[in-house]
């Protein structure tokens, strides 16, 4: 078995015990990326020089008998929404083309401090606005399980890279499901931590009250290892939580016996692919057969989640994206006749169609005469949704639902119908509106050999509950250990 096929914890242990060098691990990943990624498009840019320098530093510490950190030699891809000092960061947008940040995001800084090796920047929907990674301004990203299908979004590049064995773990962000939905479509494990659990400093903003960064890996144990390294209070982010970091790796070993699993009846209705429902229900049966108690619960305001989300998130986006004006950094239109012409043309030429759509929608719902009717009302609905979860969690420890209503859809099939694209996140959005934590884990395959994801939800700061259920389930099943043909074909070569 090649080193890239091992779980992250095994890779780290190999490096720490000198069974393999961090340089060799990084080199193996770069070789795979070179051989495979032209067909997938999971990376926007690589940082070979920086990665190999980090790897050599880890190896020097190991040889000197010093602790290289809990992520020693772990090769990680960063969604291109995390700023990296000295390495171009574009957020998948032409308006930031050529932007080289003068500072480092807290997430990437903590990863490096823990001994991780950052391979490069992963592809994404522009400014994290999308569910298919077809809105990237630079290249289409394809699903490794079927190259004619989407990997999900907006963290599609991160999910595809993990699925194809092009990194050990990838960092994504989740505003309405952008870690969990692509994880489901690509057959990997993806964690959306509690809002504020991971610092947003240096994570380019989409919707500030909803955004949260988190890991995507082959297993829950991989995600636990990374979360312990990046979680915690950050003085640079006033919204980060001043709460002790959980013992997530220990929770992975605890198991879910005796836990109560709630099944929200609103998540198993019209619009759910029968094959997805069948796979998720088999997953629930596995939990029940191994010591979990199953209980139906209700989240009555679920039907309003998408409408509320697509008022709140564009409103925040229109405010956050006002800073891209062609003056301070990023794209600037040429030969403008005056300042206003420069503003208008820079934004019109620099932003893609989906970003423009959301900016216009957000500006409209915040405008005079419409604020109370739209934005104010959506915030009230958000409170009702949060109350639904609070009440339901009084009767259960976690909830289990489908992650996505469908498996990976064909490239281009939803680009002309924004509403159908938005509905891809119908089961993930409520988690963000309520500030909860959620995880998607593989639970089956459909008749076309495409992965199906099962979502586990827990209350705020309930990550340890998620890891108990997810890791326990993964010890009983092998869905998370399966590789797509693109990875197997390369191995055979």
Q: CA 175, CA 181: separation in Å to the nearest integer?
A: 11
Three-class DSSP category at 359: helix
The H or E element that residue 26 is part of is helix 22-40
Catalytic residue among 105, 178, 313, 318: 178
Concerning whether 416 is annotated as a catalytic residue, the answer is no
Catalytic residue among 131, 136, 154, 219: 154
Per-residue pLDDT of the chain (493 residues; tens, 9 = 90+): 688 898 899 999 999 999 999 999 999 999 999 999 999 999 999 999 999 999 999 999 999 999 999 999 999 999 999 999 999 999 999 999 999 999 999 999 999 999 999 999 999 999 999 999 999 999 999 999 999 999 999 999 999 999 999 999 999 999 999 999 999 999 999 999 999 999 999 999 999 999 999 999 999 999 999 999 999 999 999 999 999 999 999 999 999 999 999 999 999 998 999 999 999 999 999 999 999 999 999 999 999 999 999 999 999 999 999 999 988 888 999 989 999 999 999 999 999 999 999 999 999 999 988 888 999 999 999 999 999 999 999 999 999 999 999 999 999 999 988 888 888 899 999 999 999 999 999 999 999 999 999 999 999 999 999 999 999 999 999 999 999 988 766 555 5
Concerning whether 178 is annotated as a catalytic residue, the answer is yes
Among residues 71, 83, 72, 74, the alpha carbon closest in space to that of 108 is found at 83
The H or E element that residue 445 is part of is strand 437-445
Q: CA 401, CA 283: separation in Å to the nearest integer?
A: 10
Q: CA 75, CA 320: separation in Å to the nearest integer?
A: 31
Among residues 140, 126, 132, the alpha carbon closest in space to that of 324 is found at 126
| Contact by Cβ (8 Å): 15, 117 | no
| Contact by Cβ (8 Å): 25, 62 | no
Among residues 122, 140, 132, 129, the alpha carbon closest in space to that of 40 is found at 140
Concerning whether 10 is annotated as a catalytic residue, the answer is no
Among residues 114, 142, 128, 108, the alpha carbon closest in space to that of 15 is found at 114
Catalytic residue among 79, 93, 219, 240: 79
Sheet-wide strand order for 169-173: 43-46, 117-122, 75-79, 169-173, 213-217, 189-192, 437-445, 451-458, 398-402, 260-264, 293-297
Q: CA 39, CA 141: separation in Å to the nearest integer?
A: 9
User: Beta-strand (E) ranges in 4-116?
Assistant: 43-46, 75-79
- Yes or no: domain 3-301+383-492 corresponds to CATH 3.40.710.10: no
Tokens (6 digits) for 236 = 């640079």
Cα separation values, 336 from 256, 309, 333, 341, 345, Å = 62, 36, 7, 6, 8
């Amino acid at each position: 078995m090649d080193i890239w096929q091992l779980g992250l914890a095994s890779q780290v242990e190999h490096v720490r015990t000198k069974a393999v060098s961090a340089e060799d691990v990084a080199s193996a990943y770069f070789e795979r990326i070179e051989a495979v990624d032209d067909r997938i498009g999971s990376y926007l840019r690589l940082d070979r020089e920086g990665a190999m320098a980090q790897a050599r530093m880890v190896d020097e510490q190991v040889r000197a008998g010093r602790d290289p950190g809990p992520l020693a030699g772990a090769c990680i891809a960063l969604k291109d929404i995390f700023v990296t000092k000295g390495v171009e960061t574009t957020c998948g947008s032409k308006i930031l083309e050529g932007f080289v940040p003068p500072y480092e995001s807290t997430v990437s800084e903590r990863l490096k401090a823990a001994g991780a090796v950052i391979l490069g920047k992963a592809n994404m929907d522009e400014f994290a606005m999308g569910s298919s990674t077809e809105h990237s301004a630079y290249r289409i990203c394809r699903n490794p399980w079927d190259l004619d299908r989407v990997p999900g979004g907006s963290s599609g590049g991160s999910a595809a890279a993990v699925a194809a064995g092009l990194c050990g773990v990838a960092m994504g962000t989740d505003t309405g499901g952008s870690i969990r939905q692509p994880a489901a479509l690509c057959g990997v494990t993806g964690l959306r931590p509690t809002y504020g659990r991971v610092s947003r400093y240096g994570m380019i903003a989409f919707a500030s009250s909803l955004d949260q960064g988190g890991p995507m890996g082959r297993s829950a144990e991989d995600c636990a290892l990374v979360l312990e390294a990046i979680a915690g209070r950050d003085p640079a982010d006033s919204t980060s939580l001043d709460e002790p970091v959980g013992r997530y790796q220990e929770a992975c070993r605890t198991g879910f016996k005796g836990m109560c699993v709630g099944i929200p009846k609103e998540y198993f209705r019209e619009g759910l692919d029968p094959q997805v429902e069948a796979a998720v229900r088999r997953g629930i049966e596995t939990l029940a057969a191994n010591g979990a108690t199953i209980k139906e619960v209700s989240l009555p305001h679920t039907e309003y989640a998408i409408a509320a989300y697509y008022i709140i998130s564009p409103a925040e986006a229109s405010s956050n994206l006002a800073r891209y004006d062609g003056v301070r950094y990023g794209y600037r239109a040429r030969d403008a006749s005056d300042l206003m012409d420069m503003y208008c043309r820079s934004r019109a030429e620099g932003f893609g169609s989906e970003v423009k759509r959301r900016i216009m929608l957000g500006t409209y719902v915040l405008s005079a005469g419409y604020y109370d009717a739209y934005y104010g009302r959506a915030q009230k609905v958000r409170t009702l949704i949060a109350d639904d979860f609070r009440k339901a969690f009084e009767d259960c420890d976690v909830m289990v639902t489908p992650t996505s209503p469908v498996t990976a859809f064909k490239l281009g099939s939803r680009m002309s119908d924004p509403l159908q694209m938005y509905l891809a996140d119908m089961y993930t959005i409520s988690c963000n509106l309520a500030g909860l934590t959620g995880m998607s884990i593989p639970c089956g395959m459909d008749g076309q050999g495409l992965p199906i994801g099962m979502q586990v939800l827990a209350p705020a700061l309930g990550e340890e509950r998620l890891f108990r259920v997810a890791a326990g389930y993964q010890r009983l099943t092998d869905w998370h250990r399966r590789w797509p043909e693109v990875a197997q074909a390369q191995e055979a070569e």
